Amino acid sequence: MEHYNHERRYYNNERRNDRELDTIVNGTLIITIILLVIWVIIGIAAFFTSIFCFFRKGTSIDKIVGLVLAIFFGPFYFLFYAFKSDYCVKNI
């Protein structure tokens, strides 16, 4: 009888551990999907902003670099946009 109870407790612990692991995996998956969706949305915004900057003042090289950054690095394009002072300047 003692062996049966020990086996049963072990089985119940395993099931509880599996449920906890499933909860952690599901939570991680949801967070990953949310971050991925945010990344894609900001990447699309970066792409359109870089296209918009083609019609503003700035060097052609900067415009091409901005487009390439927006396509391949998505949200990191906005670092280029923020720190490059002569890029995407409003036409006067």
Instruction: Let me know if residue 27 belongs to a domain.
Output: yes
Is 91 within a domain? no
Question: Could you read off the pLDDT of 64-88 as tens digits, one per residue?
Answer: 999 999 999 999 999 999 998 889 8
Task: Specify the amino acid at residue 79.
Answer: L
HSE-CB at 28 with a 13 A cutoff on CA atoms is 6
- Residue 61's domain comprises 2-83
Tell me, yes or no, whether 88 lies in a domain.
no
> Is residue 38 situated within a structural domain?
yes
pLDDT at 89: 86
**pLDDT beneath 50: ranges in the chain:** 1
Question: What pLDDT was estimated at residue 91?
Answer: 78
CB 87 within 8 Å of CB 80:
yes
Contact 86, 62 (CB under 8 A): yes
0.75 exceeded by the pTM?
A: no
pLDDT for residue 41 = 96
Q: How many domains does the chain have?
A: 1
